[in-house]
Amino acid sequence: MSQAVAPFPVVDHQRVVFPDGLALDCGAVVRPLVVAYRTYGTLNADRSNAVLVCHALTGDQYVAETHPVTGRPGWWESVVGPGRPIDTDRFFVVCANVLGGCMGSTGPREEMTDAEGRGLGRPWGTDFPLVTIRDMVRAQKRLVDHLGIARLLCVVGGSMGGMQVLEWAAEYPDAVFAAAPIATAAHHSAQNIAFHEVGRAAIHADPDWAGGRYWETGRVPAQGLSVARMVAHITYLSEQALTRKFGRRLRGASALTFLEDVFEVESYLRHQGSTFVRRFDANSYLTITRAMDYFDLAAEHGGELANAFRGTRTRFFVASFSSDWLFPTSESRALVRALNAAAANVSFVEITSDKGHDAFLLDEPDFHRALGGFLRGAAERVGV
């Protein structure tokens, strides 16, 4: 991975620009605010069938269509589409690239601006201010308001997307009829923060890091970003999934050797790393992982998670997966207990799966039926 990596292709993302910008939790203001997004399906006459999908750390707005950079299918095409659990024949689906992302929304890759919103002719890079999950949600709220949607039928997301769902329900309860936080938690654990720090340290140690100003050299910290992706990807899988897919199988090696990619699992992880650096920005990775680490919904509400939801009329569907050790079922149960303490309307399901955290992205019929049933029930309640 020492060779130069080709720069991102220029993509004309669908975007909306808010000239007045956005005030962030850290005290900074980004001006203008740009939100890149995609929509699927048709908004009905009374604008009551909108479903907001919130993406995870390395996702983006291309949830149910061919990705313009990789050429691969959308990251949740098994869930979003005609006849799918989030049925685009019935619902109007919106997905926005998060604030701090690298697929068109305001973030480290975009042109830095001054206090008046004037471009400075260089990317933000490491000068991009710290953002929080709540900042991301506030940016999405601007988009939803721009689309003329007063109340979302449902907000849905897994992992970091689930954190956004919880923030939506806490920050804008009257704008969210139903919420589906999946494979997530109300705060990031010390272990998860530790894994993120290993990835950030790998990026900082890359010889092409250049203090975060790597665009000046025409290179990217590919080695470090690749290692960060490899470490993270391990946390997305379970031991059972890795054993089933790879076991201890070798790639043709017949003797002890120090050559790389001897085991099939090594080759798989290196492939994950090498493809990732061609679609994701290192400074965005640093920005977004920090936002996840800072997230603590209870701390935002006096130290008690139930306070975030007291008096809410939002209906909740909480789902976890039995082999997910990144966001284990215990975290979902803690969330459900807090929702019960707040007298919220909540249903919970733990899906038996050996696929680990990534199960929410994969073919899991029981999960798909549960989510689809929840959405249909919510739609019937509002007459959609």
Q: Which active-site residues does the annotation give?
A: 159, 324, 357
Q: How many CB atoms lie within 10 A of CB 94?
A: 25
Rounded CA gap, 233 and 225, in Å?
A: 12
Residue 83, judged by CB atoms within 10 A of its CB (0-12, 13-18, 19+), counts as exposed
Start-to-end Cα distance in the chain: 51
* Closest residue by Cα to residue 26 from 163, 106, 113, 128: 128
Pull the structure tokens for residue 117: 């919103």
Task: Look at strands 92-96 and 33-40 and give their pairing.
Answer: antiparallel
Scanning the chain, the segments in alpha helix (DSSP H) are 133-146, 160-171, 190-205, 222-236, 239-245, 264-276, 282-294, 329-341, 365-382
Report CA Rg, the chain: 21
Pull the structure tokens for residue 208: 């092409």
Q: Give the DSSP H/E element, type plus range, for residue 340.
A: helix 329-341
Q: Give the DSSP H/E element, type plus range, for residue 31.
A: none
Displacement of CA 163 from its chain's centroid (Å): 9
Which residue bears the tokens 């002719």?
A: 121
Asked if residues 295 and 132 have their Cβ atoms less than 8 Å apart, the reply is: yes
Pull the structure tokens for residue 94: 């919106």
Output the DSSP codes for 86-109: EETTT-EEEEEPPTT-SSSSSSTT
CA dist list (Å): 141 to 155, 167, 234, 272: 11, 11, 33, 33
